[in-house]
């Protein structure tokens, strides 16, 4: 591993002859290996050592590490970047705008996009669907709510007071009452800033169900709105008499429903929302998996390093160094007591060992360990304290339950770190019961794990 890294690093980005390049880095893999080595060189010394030993390890630990890396790669593939999120949201918004405004959904106000020059042509008759109503929700609402300049003047089908006159029903004319309609809708309907896929599906089903509600005294279907019920359902011309009124029809013949285009766009929006929600849920699960696998990766790298040390015969069983240091202090005190024999001359001979004579001391303890010697012993205790990731009070980072406690925790600072503990916030991998305060020496964030599991890095080391 060292030889491979040295060859690549020494190249300074210039590709040497293929025979001099490690096999896994030849051809198109060269650029990936260059990036991988640059990343490795950017790590602290301890991180480089752990990864190099992991790559050279041939035990089960290495297999475990590779398994964890493979799982991290799989989880990484499910994450959503900002571009993907924006694209999925745009797909939903575009479908909704097409449904409301018609066409490509780029207008800020609905227009009469169908053929005709009269209200009933754009809104529909008993046997012919509205040419514009079928293309947008905006025009459909105008057919129900707008007042005209003839017999449809003063239409109050939607509101107490008639809306602005829609005097012109020629093709490509904007719905003049649109601002009034949206203002009334905002006042009368609940303020909803977002809608789930299920809510969009429910809305679509409810609107579709309206088409099958019988209208007029003959039970005609294919209408949205409320034409006059005293006669057979008629034209949607806004004149609320003789079976006519403020309405829109979606038919190809009497009692034959032809679903409007905007209903298809609502269904498209619901599907797009469902796709986004599924991807977001998968991404959230992947985030949780990555957090959990980070812990596994950190532990495996740590164990790999320890296993290499054991193989070299350098590893020793962990000691409770704090207890050891206190024991040594007690032994030094006892030696002063014993050798000093409560005699100042004898005690003075032990000054180099930190002993000092105290004439007011208890019998058998007049020759005692000096205060300076005790302070030095305490310093040694603090310096060596924490090999078991505990502070002098015997607490680990997991014992601190709030962010304030975690950040204020005092204890041995791991090599290469600036503090004893680090707060990671919510831990979705284990829920509310999971510890949220982590030892700085053990904490690996998502970005570290994902950079470690890049294809180049895995190819180079494993």
What is the C-alpha separation between 227 and 247, in angstroms, rounded? 6
Q: Establish how many alpha carbons lie within 13 A of residue 178's alpha carbon, considering only the half-sphere containing its beta carbon.
A: 17
Could you tell me if 289 and 332 lie in one domain? no
Mark whether 170 and 231 lie in a shared domain: yes
Residue 269 lies in a domain: no
Write phi, then psi, for 457 (nearest 5 degrees): -65, -45
What pLDDT sits at residue 433? Answer: 41
Domain check: are 181 and 165 in the same one? yes
Same domain, 121 and 214: yes
Do the Cβ atoms of 132 and 139 come closer than 8 Å? yes
> Other C-beta atoms within 10 Å of 352: how many?
6
Q: What is the pLDDT of residue 14?
A: 62
State the Cα–Cα distance between residues 377 and 392, nearest whole angstrom.
Answer: 14
Domain boundary pick from 352, 368, 387: 387
Q: Which helix (H) or strand (E) holds 357?
A: strand 355-357
Of 329, 328, 323, 324, the residue nearest 394 (C-alpha): 323
pLDDT given for residue 204 in this prediction: 96
Domain count, the chain: 4
Question: 248 with 366, same domain?
Answer: no
Q: Is residue 92 part of a domain?
A: no
Three-class DSSP category at 269 = helix
Residue range 183-206, pLDDT digits in tens:
888 887 777 777 899 999 999 999
Verify that 127 and 237 share a domain, yes or no: yes
Count the neighbouring beta carbons within 10 Å of the beta carbon of residue 239.
21
Neighbours of 281 (CB within 10 A): 11
What confidence score (pLDDT) does residue 371 get?
83
Is residue 268 assigned to a domain? no
- Of 396, 377, 397, nearest to 323 by C-alpha is 377
Structural domain contains residue 305: yes
Give domain status of residue 270, yes or no: no
Instruction: Give the closest residue to 133 by CA, choosing from 165, 159, 99.
Output: 99
Other CB atoms within a 10 A radius of the CB of residue 403 amount to 13
- Position 342 scores a pLDDT of 86
pLDDT of residue 389: 61
- Tell whether 37 and 113 lie within a shared domain: no
Residue 4's φ and ψ, nearest 5 degrees, are: -65, -45
Question: Does any domain span residue 271?
Answer: no
Report the 10 Å Cβ neighbour count for 451: 15
Query: Do 298 and 374 have their domain in common?
Result: no
Alpha carbons 228 and 242: distance in angstroms, whole number: 6
Range of the domain at 161: 109-259
Which of 259, 274, 293 terminates a domain? The answer is 259
- Please state, in angstroms and rounded to a whole number, the distance separating the CA atoms of residues 110 and 14: 61
Residue 89 within a domain: no
* Ranges of the chain with pLDDT below 50: 1-2, 310-324, 383-387, 427-435, 441-462
Identify whether residues 251 and 117 lie together within a single domain: yes
Q: Is residue 382 part of a domain?
A: yes
Do residue 154 and residue 66 come from a single domain? no
Rg value, the chain, Cα: 39
Q: Give the DSSP H/E element, type plus range, for residue 249.
A: strand 247-249
Same domain for 237 and 118?
yes
Which ranges of 165-218 would DSSP assign to H, the alpha helix?
178-188, 197-210
Considering the domain architecture, whether residues 121 and 219 belong to the same structural domain is answered as yes
373 vs 354: CA distance, rounded Å = 5
CA distances from 9 to 4, 14, 16, 39, 274 (A): 9, 10, 11, 11, 47
Q: Are 364 and 340 in contact (CB under 8 A)?
A: no
């Amino acid at each position: 591993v060292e030889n491979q890294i040295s060859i690549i690093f020494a190249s300074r980005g210039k590709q040497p002859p293929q025979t001099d390049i490690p096999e896994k880095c030849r051809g198109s893999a060269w650029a990936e290996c260059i990036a991988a080595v640059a990343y490795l060189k950017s790590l602290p010394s301890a991180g480089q050592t752990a990864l190099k030993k992991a790559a050279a390890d041939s035990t089960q630990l290495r297999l475990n590490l590779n398994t964890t890396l493979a799982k991290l790669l799989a989880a990484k593939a499910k994450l959503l970047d900002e571009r993907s999120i924006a694209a999925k949201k745009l797909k939903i918004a575009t479908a909704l705008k097409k449904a409301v405004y018609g066409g490509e959904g780029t207008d800020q106000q609905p227009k009469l996009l169908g053929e005709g020059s009269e209200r009933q042509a754009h809104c529909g008759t008993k046997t012919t669907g509205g040419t514009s109503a079928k293309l947008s929700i905006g025009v459909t609402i105008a057919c129900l709510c707008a007042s005209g300049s003839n017999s449809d003047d003063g239409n109050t089908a939607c509101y107490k007071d008639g809306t602005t006159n829609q005097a012109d029903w020629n093709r490509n004319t904007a719905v003049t009452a649109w601002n009034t309609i949206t203002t009334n809708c905002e006042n009368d309907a609940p303020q909803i800033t977002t809608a789930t896929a299920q809510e969009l599906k429910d809305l679509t089903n409810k609107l579709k169900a309206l088409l099958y509600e019988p209208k007029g005294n003959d039970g005609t279907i294919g209408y949205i709105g409320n034409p006059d019920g005293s006669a057979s359902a008629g034209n949607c011309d806004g004149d609320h008499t003789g079976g006519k009124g403020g309405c829109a029809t979606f038919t190809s013949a009497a009692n034959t429903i032809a679903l409007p285009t905007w209903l298809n766009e609502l269904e498209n929006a619901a599907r797009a929302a469902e796709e986004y929600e599924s991807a977001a849920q998968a991404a959230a699960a992947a985030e949780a998996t990555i957090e959990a696998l980070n812990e596994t990766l950190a532990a495996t790298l740590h164990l790999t390093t320890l296993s290499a040390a054991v193989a070299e015969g350098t590893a020793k069983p962990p000691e409770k160094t704090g207890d050891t240091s206190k024991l040594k202090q007690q032994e030094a005190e006892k030696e002063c007591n014993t050798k000093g024999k409560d005699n100042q001359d004898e005690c003075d001979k032990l000054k180099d060992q930190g002993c000092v004579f105290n004439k007011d001391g208890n019998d058998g303890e007049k020759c005692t360990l000096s205060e300076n010697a005790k302070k030095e012993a305490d310093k040694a205790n603090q310096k060596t304290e924490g090999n078991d990731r505990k502070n002098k009070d015997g607490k680990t980072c997991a014992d601190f339950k709030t962010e304030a406690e975690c950040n204020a925790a005092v204890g041995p600072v791991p090599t290469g770190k600036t503090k004893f503990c680090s707060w990671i916030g919510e831990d979705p991998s284990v829920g509310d019961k999971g510890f949220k305060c982590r030892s700085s020496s053990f904490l690996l964030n998502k970005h570290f794990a994902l950079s470690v599991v890049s294809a180049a890095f895995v190819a180079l080391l494993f």
